[in-house]
């Protein structure tokens, strides 16, 4: 064993071990930068640390992502801490399944996320923005809150979940609480957990009512197909699991409000792009949206466990070890992105497709692996919102706190981004 500065390099595997007895507090203090800071310090794409009392391997970059998405090497079973399942995505949900069972469940989602669905949702969202701004006739709009409510309404209609108009804003708040419980301890975590229990209970009752014929819903709806989906053994999923998987569509659609808020912030911080977006093509809109997903922080890292012992990059990965893939750091890796810490939509002009070096919603192939199936929807919803904000509306940005702390996961501009004197221009 050799000690180099504050890092130990083990003679067994030649990779840096962070010297701290436990890094849990440092992880909370450094947030999105925790892995990146050490990757830079140790000049290594991979290091070992102790987090929450267990040995963890942290890794970053395109090659690390390729390994992480090899299903022969990693399993998701037991990877996500129970407290995250109880708040963010639900106990036993698709995120925790492997192999055949995972692929079978994924087939339930994929047919609703095709290009036609993405375009349709983009169009609906734009119409909803028009209505919201016209109807509001309000002096000020909080982009994050308005987008959350608008997207919640769109998502429930699209999935076919019957919800009273007066309940939409509370439901949107509940989904946001689940998302913002991710890296939290204390009250923020408990708020997310309570919100999840409440919404799961409500949806579970709805599923029961559909199954026993007390409520009739459209047979072509996503809710109907989830309610009557059968697992690999030919059994219906239990009511709770249907509720959880329906929430796995509704919640992330509402969560696009975070990206929308960062996107409006990007327009404010980089006004030099606005004119090009006005006169430009759809590709220009898309490049801006993609740069927002690359540059601004949302998901910090992903977790999986080693399936069988293997060696990679001079490191022994022992079966059962928890491995974290650095999402934020890979999206800010200077080897991949020119001037990675600057916002530059040019990064996405004529970009060659690569499944492992741009991973804001995971990497690899969404149909066979765990990559997010909702990326196309996310991009279309953001594109149509961007188009609306640069071409159809004028607004002012009053003084407010637009800072977004990198040690809160997920983070957000503190004010939620307030615009004032808002009016349609066409
Ligand atoms: C706010 C934008 C979004 C972000 C940042 C995001 C991020 C992610 C990430 C990081 C993963 C995990 C990838 C992995 O484990 O390897 C994921 C999975 C997933 N996302 Fe998204 N997502 C977003 C939007 C959406 C949308 C709009 C939908 C559906 C309409 C969706 C549905 C899902 C589902 C079902 C999974 C589980 C996939 C699986 O385990 O196979 N997401 N998302």
What confidence tens digit (pLDDT) does each residue in 127-171 have? 999 999 887 666 799 999 999 999 999 999 999 999 999 999 999
Distances from the Cα of 147 to the Cα of 129, 222, 223, 344, 364, angstroms: 8, 22, 23, 24, 29
Instruction: Specify the residue with its C-alpha closest to ligand 1, atom 20.
Output: 372
pLDDT above 70: residue 3: no
Q: Is 261 in the pocket of ligand 1 (CB under 6 A)?
A: no
- What is the pLDDT, as a whole number, of residue 100? 96
Closest listed residue to residue 95, CA positions, set 366, 382, 410:
366
Ligand 1 nearest atom to the CA of residue 255, by list position: 1
Give the confidence band of 9 by pLDDT, cuts at 50, 70, 90.
low
Average pLDDT of the residues in 366-380: 97
Q: How far is the CA of 400 from the centre of ligand 1 (A)?
A: 31
Q: Is 255 in the pocket of ligand 1 (CB under 6 A)?
A: yes
CB atoms within 10 A of CB 183: 20
Instruction: Specify the residue with its C-alpha closest to ligand 1, atom 6.
Output: 361
Q: Which residue has the tokens 């794409």?
A: 45
Q: What span, in angstroms and rounded, lies between the C-alpha atoms of 148 and 358? A: 25
- What is the pLDDT, as a whole number, of residue 370? 98
- What is the pLDDT, as a whole number, of residue 7? 56
Ligand 1 nearest atom to the CA of residue 359, by list position: 10
Q: What span, in angstroms and rounded, lies between the C-alpha atoms of 420 and 139? A: 5
Instruction: Specify the residue with its C-alpha closest to ligand 1, atom 17.
Output: 372
Which is more confident, 426 or 290? 290
Q: Is 31 in the pocket of ligand 1 (CB under 6 A)?
A: no
Ligand 1 nearest atom to the CA of residue 362, by list position: 13
Q: Is 378 in the pocket of ligand 1 (CB under 6 A)?
A: yes
Instruction: Specify the residue with its C-alpha closest to ligand 1, atom 35.
Output: 248
Q: How far is the CA of 180 from the centre of ligand 1 (A)?
A: 15
Residue 313 exposed, middle or buried by CB count within 10 Å (0-12, 13-18, 19+): middle
Q: How far is the CA of 390 from the centre of ligand 1 (A)?
A: 27
Residue of 117, 295, 372, 412 best suited for mutating to test ligand 1, as the one with most atoms within 8 Å of CB:
372
N residues, the chain: 426
Across the chain, mean pLDDT equals 94
Q: What span, in angstroms and rounded, lies between the C-alpha atoms of 182 and 195? A: 13
pLDDT more than 70, % of the chain: 96
| Total-model pTM | 0.96
Give the N- to C-terminal CA distance of the chain in Å, as an integer: 68
- What is the pLDDT, as a whole number, of residue 8? 59
Average pLDDT of the residues in 336-361: 95
Q: Is 361 in the pocket of ligand 1 (CB under 6 A)?
A: yes
Q: How far is the CA of 379 from the centre of ligand 1 (A)?
A: 12
Closest listed residue to residue 328, CA positions, set 77, 40, 19:
40
Give the confidence band of 183 by pLDDT, cuts at 50, 70, 90.
confident
- What is the pLDDT, as a whole number, of residue 20? 80
Ligand 1 nearest atom to the CA of residue 155, by list position: 30
Q: Is 16 in the pocket of ligand 1 (CB under 6 A)?
A: no
Q: Is 302 in the pocket of ligand 1 (CB under 6 A)?
A: yes
Cα dihedral 341, 347, 352, 357 in deg (nearest 10): 20
Give the confidence band of 19 by pLDDT, cuts at 50, 70, 90.
confident
pLDDT above 60: residue 6: no
- What is the pLDDT, as a whole number, of residue 426? 76
Q: How far is the CA of 316 from the centre of ligand 1 (A)?
A: 30
pLDDT in tens, 100-134: 999 999 999 999 999 999 999 999 999 999 999 88
pLDDT above 60: residue 4: no
pLDDT above 70: residue 1: no
Q: How far is the CA of 182 from the centre of ligand 1 (A)?
A: 14
Instruction: Specify the residue with its C-alpha closest to ligand 1, atom 5.
Output: 361
Q: Is 297 in the pocket of ligand 1 (CB under 6 A)?
A: no
Q: What span, in angstroms and rounded, lies between the C-alpha atoms of 97 and 368? A: 12
Question: Do 68 and 323 meet the contact criterion of CB atoms below 8 Å apart?
Answer: yes
Residue of 112, 252, 383 best suited for mutating to test ligand 1, as the one with most atoms within 8 Å of CB:
252
């Amino acid at each position: 064993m050799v000690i180099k500065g504050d890092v130990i390099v083990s003679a067994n595997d030649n990779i840096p071990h962070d010297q701290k007895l436990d890094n849990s507090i440092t992880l909370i203090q450094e947030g999105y930068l925790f892995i990146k800071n050490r990757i830079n310090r140790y000049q290594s794409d991979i290091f070992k640390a102790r987090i929450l009392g267990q040995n963890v391997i942290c890794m970053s970059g395109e090659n690390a992502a390729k390994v992480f998405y090899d299903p022969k090497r990693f399993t998701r079973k037991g990877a996500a801490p129970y407290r995250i399942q109880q708040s963010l995505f639900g106990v036993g949900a698709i995120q925790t399944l492997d192999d055949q069972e995972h692929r079978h469940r994924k087939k339930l989602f994929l047919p609703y996320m095709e290009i036609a669905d993405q375009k349709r949702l983009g169009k609906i969202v734009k119409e909803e923005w028009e209505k919201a701004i016209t109807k509001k006739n309000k002096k000020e709009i909080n982009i994050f809150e308005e987008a959350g409510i608008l997207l919640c309404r769109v998502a429930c209609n699209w999935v076919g979940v019957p919800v009273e108009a007066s309940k939409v804003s509370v439901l949107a708040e509940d989904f946001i609480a689940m998302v913002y419980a991710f890296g939290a301890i204390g009250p923020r975590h408990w708020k997310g957990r309570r919100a999840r229990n409440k919404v799961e209970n409500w949806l579970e009752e709805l599923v029961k009512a559909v199954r026993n014929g007390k409520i009739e819903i459209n047979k072509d709806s996503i809710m109907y197909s989830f309610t009557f989906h059968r697992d690999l053994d030919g059994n219906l999923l239990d009511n709770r699991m249907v509720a959880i998987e329906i929430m796995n569509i509704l919640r992330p659609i509402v969560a696009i409000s975070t990206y929308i808020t960062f996107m409006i912030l990007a327009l404010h911080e980089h006004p030099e792009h606005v004119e090009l977006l006005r006169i430009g093509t759809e590709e220009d809109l898309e490049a801006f949206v993609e740069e927002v997903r690359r540059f601004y922080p949302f998901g910090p890292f992903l977790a999986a466990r080693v399936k069988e012992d293997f060696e990679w990059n001079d490191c022994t990965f022992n079966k059962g070890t928890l491995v974290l893939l650095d999402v934020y750091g890979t999206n800010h890796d200077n080897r991949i992105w020119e001037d990675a810490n600057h916002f530059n939509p040019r990064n996405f002009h004529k970009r060659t497709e690569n499944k492992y070096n741009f991973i804001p919603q995971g990497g690899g192939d969404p149909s066979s692996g765990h990559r997010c199936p909702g990326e196309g929807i996310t991009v279309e919803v953001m594109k149509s919102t961007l188009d609306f904000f640069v071409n159809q509306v004028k607004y002012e940005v009053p003084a407010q706190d637009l800072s977004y702390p990198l040690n809160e996961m997920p983070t957000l501009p503190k004010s939620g981004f307030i615009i004032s004197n808002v009016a349609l221009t066409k």
